[in-house]
Amino acid sequence: MTQTQGMLIDYHTHHERCGHAVGKLEDYILSAMKQGMEQIGLSDHMPLLHVTDKDNPDSAMPMEELPRYVEEALALKEKYKGRIEVRVGLEGDYVEGQEEKIERIVNGYPWDYVIGSVHFLGTWDVTDFRQVDRWEGRRVVEVYEQYFDAIAKAAATGFYDYIGHMDAIKRFGYRPEEDVSALEDAALQAIKKHDLAFELNAAGIYAPCKEMYPSVSILERARAYDIPVTYGSDAHHPDKIGQKGAEAKELLRKAGYTELAVFTERKRKLKSF
């Protein structure tokens, strides 16, 4: 088995249940093993809670699939024990006003970790290419204000272990003319205050913004705040496991990171890379 030159872990993955990824859970595990990874995290999207599947098709797994997802992931964790460490996780969207429903899901299953990601501002999924027209008529800076406020509120809930793609609001290339470093810092300070980690998410490289989430500037400030970091490919295809891992490692090292956050049963440890 050839050891990867990129990351030895990947904590952000999706599969066919969410409707916009391909491949079975096991395909992602096998891809990680092929690369010589030590840990692979399964972290598909939490079911939609405040909008309908009809209005947002192929956005997340149906609610009835959630227990099946967990059952299958736990079985695979046992199946591959001793060959690769499988972590059972969830990308648990933070949606303001839906905290009770989110908490029931977070507390209802034996997760190894839960990612706190903001996709929705109200009913607008700001990461969905099908909804890009909703930027029209809005001041970009005001959307950024709402987004980073949601990140800070997510961090304060206690539901999550780390924040996912914390500046994904830039995905489609909409950037304010104004300096938003104060907004980013407020979000970072909330992450620090509530003892969360955050992720370096490689998927932004392939989006119109053409850079990882978060930006190098945010990454450097997170290091200055001594906030732990982990890595996620955000793979939606088994072949994307570990994508841009070597580049991610270089970015992290340049920012001063030497360790990655890893999780077991909601407990965080740091692992050198």
Q: Is residue 122 part of a domain?
A: yes
Tokens of 246: 């070597």
Q: Is residue 225 part of a domain?
A: yes
Q: Is residue 187 part of a domain?
A: yes
Among 244, 248, 255, 234, smallest CA distance to 115 is for 234
Tell me what pLDDT residue 1 has. Answer: 36
| Rounded CA separation 251/88 (Å) | 27
Q: Is residue 4 part of a domain?
A: no
Q: Is residue 81 part of a domain?
A: yes
Tell me what pLDDT residue 65 has. Answer: 98
Tell me what pLDDT residue 55 has. Answer: 86
Which residues form the domain of 185? 9-272
Q: Is residue 2 part of a domain?
A: no
Question: Which residues neighbour 89 within 8 Å (Cβ) at sequence distance 6 or greater?
Answer: 11, 41, 42, 43, 111, 112, 113, 114, 115, 263
Tell me what pLDDT residue 241 has. Answer: 98
Instruction: Give the CATH number of the domain where residue 194 resides.
Output: 3.20.20.140
Half-sphere exposure of 189 (CA within 13 A, CB side): 7
Strand boundaries in the chain, DSSP class E? 9-10, 39-42, 85-91, 113-116, 120-121, 124-125, 162-163, 197-201, 229-232, 259-264, 267-272
Mean pLDDT (10-residue bins), the chain, 273 residues = 71 97 98 97 97 92 97 98 98 97 98 98 97 97 98 98 98 98 98 98 97 98 98 98 97 98 98 95
Tell me what pLDDT residue 3 has. Answer: 42
Q: Is residue 262 part of a domain?
A: yes
Q: Is residue 1 part of a domain?
A: no
Number of domains in the chain: 1
Tell me what pLDDT residue 4 has. Answer: 44
pTM for the whole structure: 0.96
